[in-house]
Structure 1
Amino acid sequence: MIAGKQILIVGGGIGGMASAIRFAELGAKVTLIDIDPEWRVYGAGITITGPTLRAYRHLGLLEAIKEQGAIAEGATIFRYDGLRLQQLDEPALEEGLPATGGIMRPKLHRIMQARVNALGVDVRLGLSVSALDNRDGGVDVAFTDGTQGRFDLVVGADSIYSAVRRMAFPHMAEAQPTGQGCWRVSMKRPPKLENGEIYLGHRFPVGINRCAQDMVYLWMLTPHEHREVHFTDEELFTRLHDNLADFGGNIAWVRENMTRNDWINYRPLAAALQPGPWHMGHIVLLGDAVHATTPHMASGAGMAVESALVLAEELDRAGSIEAGLEAYEARRYDRCRHVVETSIAVGKMQLAGDPPEAVGAALSAGLHRLANHY
């Protein structure tokens, strides 16, 4: 069903690249466009849970991620002052598959970009779509550079702010704020840190994870405060340093050793599970465009890669594109709903000051459900 089809993928992030790789492997003629003329990605490290590592193994990229990132045997939950509480209950998935890991987001993108290019995908940068028209079993596309094209399938993988969603899916709405904001810093590894750590029991939950041999990233969740202007670099450093004042363990080491030269970022969190249908004619959505989540379960990237794999699989074995798109949504909806709803619920527990044991149990239960194959 896929071989020889003309497929346009809008968005060169994780979901878009995963789709491009799998479609190209199945023999499709893939065009991938991204609005950034340099195809860059910003950000700190990214946690990769067991289910996400499983999806990357099915995509053929696990070994590269292990080589350029860091693999861990799990994560430990601490009280904010450094008292060890319990091991995070993360289920074993497949033989030879690490429990969890991390990698710098730019490195992950470069790994995926190299595979996209090696497969001969037509990558066009500094470009988006300006109009989409489902017609006669295909999609007529107008691009923002004034050119046009016709495709058998258009995949909207263009982020939480998806232009494809706004053009072709009027029944959907923008993602909604969850009430929390996320602080991140990337820096050198604390000498005693080996595996992931989560610190609870404070009004600001904090976690730290290795993302390279000698690098970590730390995240902190705080109630979001609306601001008319962004934090300056100095404000980012000072506020994060002050927010970490009560913490012990490796978090205290980060607080005392972070510098103004380390990458620090803050962004408000938003999430949405969009209502079906996720496809209109021969246009379909995946990733944050349709199931945007918060970082609580560290599964946003995993869900995007899984969705890309399932989309390609269902289209390849279906009798028609429409049947394949319906099967894709049927397989993905409940699993993505679980991730989005659990992540939002854990955020609400944190905002309400629920005890660490309850928050840890909710996270563990969510991860156990994800152990089931997609």
Structure 2
Amino acid sequence: MTAASKVLVIGGGFSGMSAAIMMARGGIAVDLAEIDPGWRSYGAGISLHGATLRAFRTLGVLDRFCETGAVTDGLVIRKPHDDEVITRIPTPPAPGVDLPGNAAIMRPALAAILSQATREAGVNVRLGCSFAGIVQDADGVDVSFADGSSARYDAVIGADGLYSATRQALMPDAPSPRFMGQAVWRAELPTPEGVDTLNMWLGRGVKAGINPVGQGRSYIFLTEDKPENDWIDESELLPRMQALLARFPSPILSGVSAGLSTDSRLIYRPLEGMLLPQPWSVGRLMLIGDAVHATTPHLGAGACIGMEDGITIAEELLARASVAGAFAAHEARRWERCRMVVENSARLSEIEITGGDQSEHNAIMGRSVVALTQAI
């Protein structure tokens, strides 16, 4: 008994691929439409919570991740002047996963792992494909595509990200993502000596972190307070990132700055967030991932909750007799967890910007880490 025999997933990111993999393995015929003909994933490294490793295990890609990425234990907070260790914060494993609770990988490497698993699951991947129209009735959904083709589905899953075209089509009055007053800079580098897990330095108006991503490589991130969401030209990325690093006399960060170049995969991204009020579905169409709960990276859980969305929507469609019942069960499972991540991440950002209570910051981090280890 399944609620659907044929499903369309719009968007080939982490959330969409997770949904497609799980549905296809359960026997649902899945089309995945990805607008980018190269199915590319941009960005440098991505930090992951232990709960993400649990999602990888469910998706059947944990071994591949461990071969390519890095799994480490704990968070080290250092003084910004001399690198002296202030504290070490444990990162507990998620139940059922015999691995520490901190991990990282390069985004393109993770995308390659999941895209391979998507094809292996038997998903019909349509690259360079976007929808042109969606019309649903009581029994199904008719989708027309930009290439002139069309197909009918029992359900459609919109997983096309922060600026989701599916959301705009389904919910034109939905709130827009909002700029959070911070931006993040990222770059790839050789792992500095003495850095064997996630290390962070807290400064005034800027926070730095280095996380190993495997194979002797790491990525650095700089979270900068920014009152305006201004455009940064690509030619300015290197000097502006080095100027931010110059705020830290840290020997480790000074060495990193000296080694950066235009070949370091420099990335700049304003931080935006959004929590779409329920319902997340309209009839037989459901939104998942960043299309409904985009979060800042302060908890390292954005990719995690998106992939969990993909897993739970597949589980519910495979277990329920109706699409409506599956969608309702999915939303009931996901709302509180996703709300917690989005709102707690936003509060951490606010505390950093305003110079708020560090004890509150630490308490939110601690509660959130524990909550993320709970079953989904």
TM-score normalised according to structure 1 size = 0.95
Out of 275, 278, 298, which is 2:277 matched to?
275
1:330 equivalent in structure 2: 332
Alignment of 1:324-363 (within 5 A): 324-354=326-356, 356-363=358-365
Q: What residue ranges of structure 1 are gaps of 5+ in the alignment?
A: none
Task: Kindly provide the CA deviation profile for residues 308-357 of structure 1, in whole angstroms up to 9, marking residues without a partner as x.
Answer: 11111122211211001001001100100000001100000110123555
Match runs of 1:203-352 below 5 Å: 203-224=205-226, 226=228, 229-233=231-235, 235-247=236-248, 248-352=250-354
Residue 7 of structure 2: SS of its match in structure 1?
strand
Tell me if 1:92 matches 2:93. Answer: yes
Q: CA RMSD in A?
A: 1.6
Aligned pairs (5 A) from 1:116-127 = 116-127=118-129
Q: Residues 69 and 102 of structure 1 are in contact (CA less than 8 Å); yes or no, is this contact kept in structure 2?
A: yes
Report if aligned partners of 2:3, 2:317 keep a CA contact under 8 Å in 1. no
Counterpart position of 1:40: 40
| SS in structure 1 of the partner of residue 325 of structure 2 | helix
Whole-Å Cα distance in 2 between the matches of residues 229 and 176 of structure 1? 16
Secondary structure of 1:205's aligned partner: strand
CA distance in 2, matches of 1:358, 1:350: 11
> Offset at 1:298?
0.7
Q: Distance in 2 between matches of 1:32 and 1:276?
A: 25
Structure 1 SS opposite 2:266? strand
- Of 245-254 and 121-130, deviating more is 245-254
Quote the residue 2:156 is aligned against: 154
Query: Once the 2 structures are TM-superposed, how far is the Cα of residue 5 of structure 1 from its aligned partner?
Result: 0.9
The answer as to whether partners of 1:9 and 1:155 remain within 8 angstroms in 2 is: yes
Q: Secondary structure at the match of 2:8?
A: strand
Local SS of the residue matching 1:127? coil
**1:188, distance to aligned residue in structure 2 (A):** 1.4
TM-score under structure 2 length normalisation: 0.95
- Distance in 2 (alpha carbons) for counterparts of 1:369 and 1:56: 18
CA distance in 1, matches of 2:189, 2:149: 43
One-letter amino acid of the structure 2 residue matched with residue 105 of structure 1? R
Do structure 1's residue 163 and structure 2's residue 161 form an aligned pair? Answer: no
Cα shift at 1:227: 6.5
- What is residue 10 of structure 2 aligned with on the other side? 10
Aligned-residue offset at 1:226: 4.0
Cα distance per residue 1:204-248 (max 9 Å; x no partner): 011110112211111111123546643233x11001101111321
Aligned residues: 373
Contact preservation (8 Å) 1:2, 1:26 = no
Q: Distance in 1 between matches of 2:47 and 2:150?
A: 39
CA–CA separation in structure 2 for the residues paired with 1:230 and 1:146: 38
Confirm or deny: 8 A CA contact 1:53 1:98 kept in the other structure: no
Relative to structure 1, the CA distance from residue 198 to residue 358 in structure 2 (aligned partners, 3 Å threshold; closer, same or farther) is farther
Alpha-carbon distance in 2 for matches of 1:13, 1:246: 35
> Match of 2:242, as an amino acid?
H
| Stretch of structure 1 that moved more, 146-155 or 247-256 | 247-256
Contact kept? 2:130, 2:146, Cα under 8 Å? yes
| 3-state secondary structure, aligned to 1:334 | helix
Q: Distance in 2 between matches of 1:114 and 1:236?
A: 32
**Cα deviation per residue 1:111-155 (whole Å; 9 max; x = unaligned)?**
111111112211111111121112132111111222211110100
Could you list the per-position Cα deviations for residues 159-201 of structure 1 after superposition, in whole angstroms to 9, with x for gaps in the alignment?
A: 1010110001234221111111111111211122111112124
CA gap 1:282/1:352 in 2 versus in 1, 3 angstroms: same
Give the counterpart letter for 1:274 in structure 2.
L
Q: Is the 8 A contact 1:8 1:32 kept in 2?
A: yes
Deviations 1:76-117 (A, max 9, x none): 122322232212243332351222111111111111111111
Alignment gaps of 5+ in structure 2:
none
**AA aligned opposite 2:60:** G
3-state SS of the aligned residue for 1:39? Answer: coil
Write out per-residue CA displacement over residues 5-45 of structure 1, whole angstroms, 9 at most, x where no aligned residue.
Answer: 11100000000000110000000100001110111111101
Percent identity over the alignment? 36
Check conservation: 1:31, 1:122, Cα contact below 8 A: yes
Indicate if the aligned counterparts of 2:4 and 2:155 stay in contact, CA closer than 8 A: no
CA shift, 1:3, in A, is 8.2
Segment drifting more, 27-36 vs 312-321 = 312-321
Q: Report the secondary structure of 1:130's partner residue.
A: strand
Report the Cα distance in structure 2 between the residues aligned to 1:345 and 1:83, rounded to whole angstroms: 27
Cα distance between partner residues in 1 of 2:80 and 2:373: 28
Counterpart CA distance in 2 for 1:351 and 1:166 is 31
Moved more, 280-289 or 141-150: 141-150
The question of 1:67 aligning with 2:42 is answered no
C-alpha separation in 2, matches of 1:85 and 1:183:
24
- State the secondary structure of the residue aligned to 1:43: coil
Q: Distance in 2 between matches of 1:306 and 1:283?
A: 18
